[in-house]
C-alpha cells in the first residue's frame, strides 16, 4: 500500500472517480441505507474551504493497481483543531491502512502546531471500535434522525406551518440571505455560541455577519445549496428563530438539516414547529427529488426532538465524537 498527499483541486478526473468508488464502498459497508454519492460538484466539495481554513488529503493506493484508491484521510484545519475524516474501502480493512493514514495526519498536525484532533462517526460501526483503540476519548454523543418524506402527513405539516402566533412573521430564503437580514440573523445565532450542550463545533456555524456571508458562499461553492427559514419578531425587527438546511449536489436525494435556534425570549410560542414545518413544505416543491432529511441533535435538546417527532423524524443511530491530543497520538502511532 502506498500513501501520498493528494490535491483534489488539480487531480485528474479518473482519480476523483476512484476516490468516489472507495467512498461509496465504505459507505455501503457502514451505513448501507445512506444514499451513494455522485460525481456532480465533487471536486468543489473536496476542495473549497472557509477563508482561513485548509483541508489536506492523503490517499492510500494499492501497489498492485496504482491509481485505485483504497482509503483516504482528510484533515480540515480550523483554529487549533484538526477535524478528521478517514475511510478505508472494505476489502483493504484490518491491514493497517487506517492507522497509516491516521499517522500521516497526526504528524502533519504536530508540524503545523495543532493540538487537538476530532472526528465524528456512526455508532455501531468499525470506526467506533477503531478510534478508542487508537487512544481517542469519546467526548460527545448525538442522535441522527431521518425523516422519510414518503411518510410525511402533509396536511398536518401545513397546519403546523400555519400556526404562527400574532407578532411574528415567517420568511423563506432559498439559496442565500438578503444583506439587510445578515446582522439580525447572526445575532440570533449568537445564542448557541455558549450553549453548554453544544458539541465540538465540527459542523459549520457562523456568529457574525461577515463570517455568515462567507459561510453561505462556502456552502454554495461546495455544491451545498442552503435553505433558510426565519421567524421575524415584527415589533423589534429581530430574528427570533431560524432553521438551516442544505441540499448537497453530491447526494441530492438526502438533505442535511443544520442548525435550528430559537432565541430564548421567544421560546414557548411554537416557532420551532412553524419554521421547520414551513421548510418541509417549501422543499417539497423546490427539491422534488428529495427522499429524506437527516438531522443530528443532542439528547438534551428535548423541545427540538419533540418537534422532529411530530414532523415524522425517526431516530436512526447514535453519532459519536472522539477527540485526541495530536502529539500523544503521533507518539503512540510511531511507538507501536
Ligand X SMILES: CC(C)(COP(=O)(O)OP(=O)(O)OC[C@H]1O[C@@H](n2cnc3c(N)ncnc32)[C@H](O)[C@@H]1OP(=O)(O)O)[C@@H](O)C(=O)NCCC(=O)NCCS
Give min distance, CB of 101 to ligand X, in A. Answer: 7
Q: Considering beta carbons, is residue 88 or 170 the nearer one to ligand X?
A: 88
CA 41 to chain CA centroid, Å, is: 17
Evaluate whether 177 touches 188 at the Cβ level (below 8 Å). Answer: no
Residue from 95, 144, 291, 332 binding ligand X (CB under 6 A):
95
Stretch of 45-53, 119-127, 220-228, 242-250 lying at the interface with ligand X (CB under 6 A): 119-127
Tell me whether strands 238-248 and 81-88 are parallel, antiparallel or unpaired: unpaired
Evaluate whether 67 touches 18 at the Cβ level (below 8 Å). Answer: yes
Alpha-carbon distance of 220 to 226, in angstroms, equals: 7
Nearest to 319 by CA among 142, 130, 201: 142
Q: Considering beta carbons, is residue 141 or 190 the nearer one to ligand X?
A: 141
The answer to whether residue 97 forms part of the interface with ligand X (CB under 6 A) is: yes
Q: Considering beta carbons, is residue 105 or 164 the nearer one to ligand X?
A: 105
First to last CA, the chain: 18
C-alpha cell at 332: 503512540
Give min distance, CB of 21 to ligand X, in A. Answer: 14
Alpha-carbon distance of 228 to 223, in angstroms, equals: 16
Beta bridge partners of 227: 174, 245
Write the binding mask 123 to 162 for ligand X: x where contact by CB under 6 A, - elsewhere: --xxx-xx--x-----------------------------
The answer to whether residue 86 forms part of the interface with ligand X (CB under 6 A) is: yes
Which DSSP category does 112 fall into? T
Q: Considering beta carbons, is residue 61 or 287 the nearer one to ligand X?
A: 61
Give the SS3 label for residue 230: strand
Number of residues that bind ligand X (CB under 6 A): 21
Where in 195-234 is the site for ligand X (CB under 6 A)? none
Residue from 35, 36, 38, 122 binding ligand X (CB under 6 A):
122
Q: For 67, left (φ over 0), alpha (ψ -120 to 50), or beta?
A: left
Stretch of 50-58, 88-96, 139-147, 184-192 lying at the interface with ligand X (CB under 6 A): 88-96
Three state DSSP letters for 248-286:
ECCCCCEEEEEEEEECHHHCCCCHHHHHHHHHHHHHHHH
Write the binding mask 22 to 51 for ligand X: x where contact by CB under 6 A, - elsewhere: ----x---xx--------------------
Give min distance, CB of 25 to ligand X, in A. Answer: 10
The answer to whether residue 75 forms part of the interface with ligand X (CB under 6 A) is: no
Q: Which residue's beta carbon is nearest to the bound ligand X?
A: 98
Q: Which residues would be at the binding site for ligand X (CB under 6 A)?
A: 26, 30-31, 86-88, 93-99, 121-122, 125-127, 129-130, 133
Amino acid at each position: 500500500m502506498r500513501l501520498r498527499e493528494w490535491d483534489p483541486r488539480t487531480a485528474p478526473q479518473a482519480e476523483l472517480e476512484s476516490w468516489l468508488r472507495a467512498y461509496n464502498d465504505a459507505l455501503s459497508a457502514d451505513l448501507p441505507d445512506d444514499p451513494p454519492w455522485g460525481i456532480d460538484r465533487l471536486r468543489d466539495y473536496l476542495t473549497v474551504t472557509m477563508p482561513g481554513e485548509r483541508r489536506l488529503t492523503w490517499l492510500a493506493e494499492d501497489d498492485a493497481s496504482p491509481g485505485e484508491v483504497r482509503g483516504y484521510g482528510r484533515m480540515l484545519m480550523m483554529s487549533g483543531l484538526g477535524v478528521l475524516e478517514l475511510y478505508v474501502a472494505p476489502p483493504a480493512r484490518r491491514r493497517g491502512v487506517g492507522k497509516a493514514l491516521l499517522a500521516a495526519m497526526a504528524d502533519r498536525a504536530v508540524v503545523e502546531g495543532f493540538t487537538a484532533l476530532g472526528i465524528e462517526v456512526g455508532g455501531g460501526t468499525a470506526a467506533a471500535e477503531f478510534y478508542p483503540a487508537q487512544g481517542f476519548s469519546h467526548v460527545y454523543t448525538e442522535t441522527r434522525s431521518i425523516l422519510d418524506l414518503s411518510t410525511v402527513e402533509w396536511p398536518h405539516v401545513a397546519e403546523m406551518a400555519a400556526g404562527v402566533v400574532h407578532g411574528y412573521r415567517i420568511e423563506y430564503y432559498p439559496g442565500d440571505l438578503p444583506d439587510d437580514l445578515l446582522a439580525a440573523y447572526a445575532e440570533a445565532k449568537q445564542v448557541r455560541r455558549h450553549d453548554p450542550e453544544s458539541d465540538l463545533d465540527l459542523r459549520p456555524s457562523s456568529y457574525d455577519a461577515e463570517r455568515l456571508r462567507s459561510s453561505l458562499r462556502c456552502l454554495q461553492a461546495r455544491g451545498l445549496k442552503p435553505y433558510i427559514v426565519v421567524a421575524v419578531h415584527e415589533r423589534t425587527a429581530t430574528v427570533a428563530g431560524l432553521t438551516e438546511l442544505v441540499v448537497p449536489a453530491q447526494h441530492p436525494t438526502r438533505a442535511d438539516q443544520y442548525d435550528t435556534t430559537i432565541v430564548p425570549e421567544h421560546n414557548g410560542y411554537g416557532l420551532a414547529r412553524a419554521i421547520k414545518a414551513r421548510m418541509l413544505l417549501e422543499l417539497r416543491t423546490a427539491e422534488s427529488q428529495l427522499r429524506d432529511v437527516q438531522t443530528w441533535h443532542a439528547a438534551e435538546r428535548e423541545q427540538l426532538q419533540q418537534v422532529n417527532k411530530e414532523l415524522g423524524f425517526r431516530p436512526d443511530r447514535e453519532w459519536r465524537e472522539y477527540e485526541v491530543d495530536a502529539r500523544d497520538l503521533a507518539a503512540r502511532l510511531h511507538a507501536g
